[in-house]
Amino acid sequence: MHHTTVLLIEIGALLFGLGMLGRAGRRFGLSPIPLYLLAGLAFGQGGLVPLSASKEFIAIGAQIGVILLLVMLGLEYSADELVGNLRSAAPAGVIDMLLNALPGALFALLLGWDLKAALVLAGITWVSSSGVIAKVLGDLGRLGNRETPVILSVLVIEDLAMALYLPIVTAVLANVGLVGGFSTLGVAVVTVVAVLVVAIRYGGTISRLMSVKDPEALLLSVLGLTLFVAGVAAELQVSEAVGAFLVGIALSGPVAHHATQMLSPLRDLFAAVFFVFFGLSTDPADVPPVLLPALGLAVLTMLTKVATGYLAARRAGTALPGRLRAGLALTPRGEFSVVIAGLAVASGVQPRLAPLATAYVLITVVSGPMLARLPDYAWFKKLVRRRMAAQRSTAEPVPTVE
């Protein structure tokens, strides 16, 4: 058959299958994300029926999926809210780095790996998956929750930190020296600051250039601007996720409202493709030998992520249920972890690093959406109410007997 014909057959069958999986998952109260990942494993390298013609198409669709997930998050908040949340969440960002990067580095050293591998594994365990978390928050209807700005602040701080971390780790792995490393780092910092200033100071002007009276023109304008800024950010060694998020922040008023409605179906489509691609890039045969170490590392760093979200939400004045929701929502790792592992593999640092990172990310991405649903169960709410009641009783002053 012709290549285009095979491509259409593969994409059509895949999307239809994903639709059925999503329907089945929601029927049983499950997030579709783990099901999409397992579908990717089944059709990837070493899977049951490898997809040959559509792999490049799915890879591009996966990039668009992450970009759309982040621009949709940005559309929910204003530039003033972003700046305020970043200021208040800065201490949480430091705690996040200490609690989640250090375990990865120490774990690598315990395995006998060198300092380069330790630096890489620190980044893999540090940063949460903005794409997965954005999808989970949307699926669970929590975008308007009290703890959600805290979660987004932590994610944005991590993504901005990646704009500094990735040039450093790239320079270390490539042995380019201090001059080359600082040059790349300087470009990344200037780019982030420039895009952030434009989003905050000229967001209203950008919104006025677009009209909600022409839905087609609005859709093309918002989507085109988002992809353009994300591409420029990636070219300048900054995460395309940061660029897309800041585009969403820059748009406001009726433009943001109508753009959210029009982009939602596209986001759902390409987000599903993103999770499938993640599974496609994994060979199931590489996972079993490193499963136990990856499982131990995943359990440890999911607990530290829960602590990160809990402390950040408590500092923001969120009640106990919101603190727990924030912590559990931050557990999945994803796209950045895969990128960091890919850099290490390309430089030949440690052959066991790639399968360990793959197994680790898969464990957190599959279990993370399930853990995020725990606060919605009746038995969990009952435990939280008991805990809150116990805290109130201990906080009450004890009357004195005269």
Lowest mean pLDDT among 78-87, 253-262, 276-285, 387-396: 78-87
Instruction: Give the residue carrying structure tokens 């929750």.
Output: 145
DSSP 220-252: HHHHHHHHHHHHHHHHTTS-HHHHHHHHHHH--
**Summary mean pLDDT of the chain:** 81
> How high is the pLDDT of residue 402?
40
Instruction: Give the residue carrying structure tokens 């990636």.
Output: 234
For 335-352, what is each residue's pLDDT tens digit?
A: 678 777 766 766 777 778
Q: Compute the distance between CA of residue 192 and CA of residue 182 in angstroms, rounded to an integer.
A: 15
For CA atoms 159, 196, 310, 332, give the dihedral sign: negative
> How high is the pLDDT of residue 188?
67
Is residue 398 scored above 60 in pLDDT?
no
- Average pLDDT of the residues in 173-181: 62
Q: Compute the distance between CA of residue 239 and CA of residue 67 in angstroms, rounded to an integer.
A: 10
CATH 3.40.50.150: does it fit domain 3-23+30-374? no
> How high is the pLDDT of residue 122?
94
Q: Compute the distance between CA of residue 31 and CA of residue 10 in angstroms, rounded to an integer.
A: 24
> How high is the pLDDT of residue 337?
81
Tell me which amino acid residue 264 is: S
> How high is the pLDDT of residue 144?
83
For 24-61, what is each residue's pLDDT tens digit?
A: 877 776 667 778 877 887 776 666 677 766 778 888 88
What lies within 8 Å, CB to CB, of 259 at 6+ separation is 75, 218, 219, 222, 251
Q: Compute the distance between CA of residue 342 and CA of residue 364 in angstroms, rounded to an integer.
A: 18
pLDDT band at 125 (very low <50, low <70, confident <90, very high): very high
> How high is the pLDDT of residue 354?
76
Q: Is-above-0.85 flag for pTM?
A: no
> How high is the pLDDT of residue 118?
92
